[in-house]
Chain A
Amino acid sequence: MIQNRTVGSLLCAALLGTGIVGGATDVMSGSGQAFAADGEVNVYSLRQPFLIQPMLEAFTEETGIKVNVVFAKDGVIERLKAEGLNSPADVILTVDIGRLNDAVEAGVVATVEDETINTNLPASFRDPEGRWFGLTTRARIIYASKDRVRPGEITSYEQLADPKWKGRICTRSGKHPYNVALFAAMIGHHGEAKAEQWLANVKQNLARKPQGNDRAQVKAIKEGECDIAVGNNYYYGKMLDNEEQKPWADSVSLVFPTIADGGTHVNVSGMAMARNAPNPENALQLMRYLTGETAQEMYAELNYEYPSNPVVPWSEKVKSWGTFTPDDLSLAAIAELRDEATKMADRVDYDG
């Protein structure tokens, strides 16, 4: 009988569970209230918390405004869309122009016309209508083996398709936003047919099925699995900082390739104000702060990214890796070609 009762009460508890949760959440998450609160700002972030935490902490210290964060890579924009008018989000932080564009197209961002921000950021790093802002730039570069690739042996993205590299190239998945943006830039410069031929040839040159992240490609060079790899430039700094990964970085040299004899392909990390921001004033303060000198310097020094604010110099370390001219194709054009680029990767079965 005792056992009967135990199970019975267990079940009761289970059935009541939902009710209890309903009551408890108000305490636990502070929701159910209006989200507008003095001295708080709510951030939906597609970037990993540890990358942006230092800037957010510095912001709180300076302004006394508390920053609440939800981090998720996928689904944040869907969440904003569903929450609609009552969404608690004030500011959206993300990497990749494609994601910024998604937010704009989903209609979840507000238009921001702010003098401070517009002074801090050159026009090329923001949407003309003020719907998104590029905080930092990163270059998609070629990592080349110091031992097996002569300096100057490869200088452009187009050369990745050269048969001489057969079985010598490593990249991450062709569906990753960073690669998709690069493929889109190729379409933008050369047209779809030529770009597709190029990508098909690059695939022929791959040493292995695309896998792992950008750093894993550099590691593969170190291990002799391939000779050149495509990756974002700041990973070089991150690898140098990491005891285990430093040997990987030491085995490669950096090439800032050209696209169509122009500049190097770049992408941005950026921000936007949420359309129904309950704390628009605080949101604006945070956005100004992130474009300001202190935060931009932190981006440069801690994350090895190129600050968008021209007043802020590149980190010395980053400068020592080499300089480059960015590709002149606009970010908006790249964002627009993203669909085509993804399908192109499917057609040549890049990941297969």
Chain B
Amino acid sequence: MGLQTGALVADGRGGTLPGSVPPPPGLDHRKHIKAVSGDGRRFWHVLALVVVSLVLLPVATIIWRALFPTENIWPHLASTVLPGYVSNTVILMVGVGLGTFVIGTGTAWLVAMCRFPGRGVLAWALMLPLAMPGYVIAYVYTDLLEFSGPVQGLLRDLTGFETKRDYWFPEIRSLGGAIAMLTLVLYPYVYALARATFLEQSVCVIEVSRTLGRGTWSAFRNVALPLARPAIVVGVTLAMMECLNDFGTIDFFAVRTLTAGIFDVWYGMGNPGGAAQIALVMLGFVVLLIWAERRSRQRQRFHHTSSKMRPIDGIPLHGLKAGAATCLCVLPVILGFVIPAAVLTDYAFTSPVAVWSTDFLGFAMNSLMLATIAALVAVGIATLLAYAARQRAGTLLLALVRLSGLGYAIPGAVVAIGVLIPFAAFDNTLDALLRETLGVSTGLLLSGTITALIFAYTVRFLAISLGAVEAGFARVTPGMEHAARTLGHSPGATLRRVHLPMIRGSLLTGGLLVFVDTMKELPATLVLRPFNFDTLATFVYQYASDEALEACAPAALAIVITGLIPVLLLARSIGDARVTKPRP
């Protein structure tokens, strides 16, 4: 019902542009731009094809490896642990998907559309948990909630219980615990994308729906939510993919998912081919997920009809309602950021085993450099791909662009191997060739360099930037594009002068998410990095892997603080994007 109404509203809006109602998917561009020559379009297609092929290289490598397992592991797995892996994986994904959807969308709507005490601060504070690595928050909450932790200690003092068998307390190291931890650090994906979308939605739509008699809740459910659906879905999908590839948290909580299975088969049984096959099953999950969503969305397309924006006044909330709104938005911030950050700070300054080092500054610089470059590259490539796909792209390019985000669902250590093999093959081939012809040795040109790292990050995180950019593009009506092209702009100029200004918020969101994710990335960094090269994450890991988080609390805190700077800067920019003055 809600969807139906949403579609009607969209059609109603589209009606303001003659000729664009209702645009059959995929055909609308062609029809309208046919008159305009295809100049410059081929360039975009070729460039995109080259880039997307490169990005898919690691995935292709993994598929290739899956063809050559050292032994067929499936009969063994299927008869023993596989059913458990699969059901754990599904429960984890569904749980985190629901959790992030409810928290992310709910808070984004409140902050974007309502006025209540603390809204200004919460708008950016809700992003904070993003800076907290999943394994760190898992560790912190285990310390707090386990038997010997302060919470149960207090409980025992109050009740007089003594041993574990005297009372029941939820076990934090469990599937439920993992869902809670991952939801707390992943909901900002949904929040950021949903908020950017709510802000980019032409305020008129909401106002029209209110004028036509919709209540606040109805306007949200029937108008804003369907309009924001592409962005929200991207956010939820990202969160679900992230928990699919998570190793740190689930390993610490002893939750056996498919990722755990990959590591077993790979390292326990020395069968990388078999591990690659499990990775492919995981990719199957993701493809299914994406397909199901697209299918359910079918022909809906929502576009901006106007780039005229003015700040939303917001619905003022009073009394109880205002208090409730504040509480609802404060809670995720406290649980996902304030508490873990406080515990880390406490460890860092009071634990006798905390390791302080002057090297942190260097590690932080490395982390910042990698994250900045990765964010720029990932957003750049995402823009290229998304835009090229809009330019009457062929089936092949469209399919490849769809697949280009798959790297996000694969555990980082597996992606790393997918990067390692083609890079080293290239290096070694080039070296052999030059040795033979010129007598010079180039050695390893790319392997073990930062280039390999950045490439791996791009492959891993392209889904994030692509999701954000596509969600932005989806809301730019083809009519504007057509107008610009008709007026003689090349595709490049159209992109620069029409699209980019309109989707600035989405670009920034994508960049921010990639930045922070790169800051926290671990497995690929470990395997691919150059000699004597540490980031904050790798430094934290050498202690955290031994469950000695107190020792690396100062470095973990440094990750969080370094991650905060861009989170705050960009949370601000997303807000600013809304206040863009109408251009003459």
Please determine whether A83 and B531 come into contact, CB atoms closer than 8 angstroms. no
The 8 A-B residue pairs with the shortest CB-CB distance in the complex, in nearest-first order: A14-B380, A29-B530, A211-B254, A75-B527, A68-B531, A14-B376, A82-B424, A72-B526
Against B, the Cβ 8 Å flags (1 = close, 0 = not) of A315-352 are 00000000000000000000000110011001101011
Q: Which residues of B contact A102 (CB under 8 A)?
A: 267, 270
Considering residues A33, A76, A102, which has the most beta carbons from chain B within 10 angstroms of its beta carbon? A33
The 5 sampled A-B contact pairs (Cβ below 8 Å) are A42-B531, A50-B543, A72-B527, A79-B447, A82-B425
Tell which of B269, B504, B527 touches A79, judged by Cβ atoms closer than 8 Å: B527
Tell which of A17, A20, A83 touches B447, judged by Cβ atoms closer than 8 Å: A83
**What count of chain B residues pass the 8 Å CB interface test?**
77
Tell yes or no: B351 within 8 A of A by CB: yes
Minimum CB–CB distance from A14 to chain B (whole Å) comes to 3
**In the docked arrangement, what's the CA distance between A20 and B507, Å?**
21
> Which residue of chain B lies nearest to A215 when distances are taken between CB atoms in the complex?
B547
Tell yes or no: A32 within 8 A of B by CB: yes
Tell which of B256, B451, B543, B546 touches A25, judged by Cβ atoms closer than 8 Å: B451
Q: Which residues of B contact A13 (CB under 8 A)?
A: 376, 380
Q: For chain B residues 498-533, which have a beta carbon within 8 Å of chain A?
A: 500-501, 504, 507, 523, 526-533
Q: A11-B383, A18-B451, A21-B373 are in contact. Are A74 and B542 (CB under 8 A)?
A: no
Against B, the Cβ 8 Å flags (1 = close, 0 = not) of A10-29 are 11011101101110111011
Against B, the Cβ 8 Å flags (1 = close, 0 = not) of A33-76 are 11100000010000011100000000000000000111111111
Tell yes or no: B384 within 8 A of A by CB: yes
Tell yes or no: A175 within 8 A of B by CB: yes
Tell yes or no: B428 within 8 A of A by CB: yes
Minimum CB–CB distance from A299 to chain B (whole Å) comes to 17
| The stretch of A109-117, A153-161, A216-224, A255-263 that contacts the partner chain | A216-224
Please determine whether B445 and A32 come into contact, CB atoms closer than 8 angstroms. yes
Tell which of A31, A212, A224, A244 touches B163, judged by Cβ atoms closer than 8 Å: A224
Minimum CB–CB distance from B527 to chain A (whole Å) comes to 4
Tell yes or no: A88 within 8 A of B by CB: yes
Q: Is the interface of B mostly helix, strand, loop or mixed?
A: helix
| The stretch of A1-9, A121-129, A302-310 that contacts the partner chain | A1-9
Q: Which residues of B contact A119 (CB under 8 A)?
A: none
Tell yes or no: B4 within 8 A of A by CB: no
Tell yes or no: A279 within 8 A of B by CB: no
Please determine whether A71 and B542 come into contact, CB atoms closer than 8 angstroms. yes
Against B, the Cβ 8 Å flags (1 = close, 0 = not) of A240-272 are 001110000000000000000000000000000
Q: Which residues of B contact A4 (CB under 8 A)?
A: 496-497, 500-501
> Which residue of chain A lies nearest to B577 when distances are taken between CB atoms in the complex?
A3
Please determine whether B254 and A86 come into contact, CB atoms closer than 8 angstroms. no
Against A, the Cβ 8 Å flags (1 = close, 0 = not) of B147-159 are 1100000000000
Q: For chain B residues 39-78, which have a beta carbon within 8 Å of chain A?
A: 76-77
Please determine whether A48 and B353 come into contact, CB atoms closer than 8 angstroms. no
Minimum CB–CB distance from B503 to chain A (whole Å) comes to 9
Q: Which residues of A contact B148 (CB under 8 A)?
A: 219, 222-223
**In the docked arrangement, what's the CA distance between A228 and B131, Å?**
39
> Which residue of chain A lies nearest to B147 when distances are taken between CB atoms in the complex?
A223
Q: A88-B448, A173-B254 are in contact. Are A212 and B547 (CB under 8 A)?
A: yes
Q: Which residues of B contact A18 (CB under 8 A)?
A: 377, 451, 454
Minimum CB–CB distance from B442 to chain A (whole Å) comes to 7
Q: Which residues of A contact B269 (CB under 8 A)?
A: 338-339, 342-343
Minimum CB–CB distance from A119 to chain B (whole Å) comes to 31
Please determine whether B253 and A211 come into contact, CB atoms closer than 8 angstroms. yes
Tell yes or no: B449 within 8 A of A by CB: yes
**In the docked arrangement, what's the CA distance between A49 and B256, Å?**
28
Tell yes or no: B379 within 8 A of A by CB: yes
Tell yes or no: A194 within 8 A of B by CB: no
**In the docked arrangement, what's the CA distance between A3 and B530, Å?**
38
Q: For chain A residues 147-198, which have a beta carbon within 8 Å of chain B?
A: 173, 175, 177, 180
**In the docked arrangement, what's the CA distance between A232 and B546, Å?**
13
Q: Which residues of A contact B496 (CB under 8 A)?
A: 4, 7-8
Q: A3-B501, A48-B545, A85-B428 are in contact. Are A243 and B353 (CB under 8 A)?
A: yes
Q: Could you list 13 further interchain pairs (A-B, Cβ under 8 angstroms) beyond the known A7-B504, A29-B448?
A: A7-B507, A8-B500, A17-B454, A21-B450, A25-B530, A31-B449, A48-B543, A70-B529, A72-B529, A175-B264, A212-B254, A225-B147, A346-B81
- Interface residues of chain A, those whose CB is within 8 Å of chain B, are 3-4, 7-8, 10-11, 13-15, 17-18, 20-22, 24-26, 28-35, 42, 48-50, 68-76, 78-79, 82-88, 102, 105, 173, 175, 177, 180, 209-213, 215-216, 219, 222-225, 242-244, 338-339, 342-343, 346-347, 349, 351-352
Q: Which residues of B contact A209 (CB under 8 A)?
A: 173, 254
Please determine whether A352 and B529 come into contact, CB atoms closer than 8 angstroms. no
**In the docked arrangement, what's the CA distance between A22 and B547, Å?**
36
Tell which of B173, B428, B531 touches A29, judged by Cβ atoms closer than 8 Å: B531
Against A, the Cβ 8 Å flags (1 = close, 0 = not) of B66-104 are 000000000011001100100000000000000000000
Tell yes or no: B108 within 8 A of A by CB: no
Tell which of B173, B380, B451, B531 touches A22, judged by Cβ atoms closer than 8 Å: B451
**In the docked arrangement, what's the CA distance between A346 and B261, Å?**
10
Q: Which residues of A contact B431 (CB under 8 A)?
A: 85-86
Q: Which residues of A contact B542 (CB under 8 A)?
A: 48-50, 71
> Which residue of chain B lies nearest to A26 when distances are taken between CB atoms in the complex?
B449
Tell yes or no: B232 within 8 A of A by CB: no
Q: Which residues of A contact B203 (CB under 8 A)?
A: none
**In the docked arrangement, what's the CA distance between A130 and B424, Å?**
27
Q: For chain B residues 383-414, which have a beta carbon within 8 Å of chain A?
A: 383-384, 413
Please determine whether A82 and B420 come into contact, CB atoms closer than 8 angstroms. yes
Q: Which residues of B contact A25 (CB under 8 A)?
A: 449-451, 530
Q: Which residues of A contact B133 (CB under 8 A)?
A: none
Tell which of A86, A212, A224, A346 touches B77, judged by Cβ atoms closer than 8 Å: A346
Q: Which residues of A contact B442 (CB under 8 A)?
A: 32
Q: Which residues of B contact A3 (CB under 8 A)?
A: 501, 504, 580
Please determine whether A70 and B421 come into contact, CB atoms closer than 8 angstroms. no
Please determine whether B254 and A349 come into contact, CB atoms closer than 8 angstroms. no
Q: Which residues of A contact B448 (CB under 8 A)?
A: 29, 31, 70, 83, 88
> Which residue of chain B lies nearest to A180 when distances are taken between CB atoms in the complex?
B268
**In the docked arrangement, what's the CA distance between A208 and B380, Å?**
49
Q: Which residues of A contact B80 (CB under 8 A)?
A: 343, 346-347, 349
Q: Which residues of B contact A21 (CB under 8 A)?
A: 373, 450-451, 454
> Which residue of chain B lies nearest to A102 when distances are taken between CB atoms in the complex?
B270
Q: A25-B450, A83-B424, A223-B147 are in contact. Are A211 and B173 (CB under 8 A)?
A: yes
**In the docked arrangement, what's the CA distance between A45 and B409, Å?**
28
Please determine whether A351 and B256 come into contact, CB atoms closer than 8 angstroms. yes
**In the docked arrangement, what's the CA distance between A158 and B552, Å?**
38
Q: Which residues of A contact B187 (CB under 8 A)?
A: none
**In the docked arrangement, what's the CA distance between A8 and B351, Å?**
48
Please determine whether B420 and A79 come into contact, CB atoms closer than 8 angstroms. yes
Q: A17-B380, A25-B451 are in contact. Are A78 and B272 (CB under 8 A)?
A: yes
> Which residue of chain B lies nearest to A35 when distances are taken between CB atoms in the complex?
B443
Please determine whether A352 and B380 come into contact, CB atoms closer than 8 angstroms. no
Tell yes or no: B242 within 8 A of A by CB: no
Tell yes or no: B220 within 8 A of A by CB: no
Please determine whether A74 and B413 come into contact, CB atoms closer than 8 angstroms. yes
**In the docked arrangement, what's the CA distance between A25 and B81, Å?**
43
Q: A15-B380, A32-B449 are in contact. Are A69 and B500 (CB under 8 A)?
A: no
Tell yes or no: B164 within 8 A of A by CB: yes
Q: For chain B residues 237-296, which have a beta carbon within 8 Å of chain A?
A: 253-254, 256, 263-264, 266-270, 272
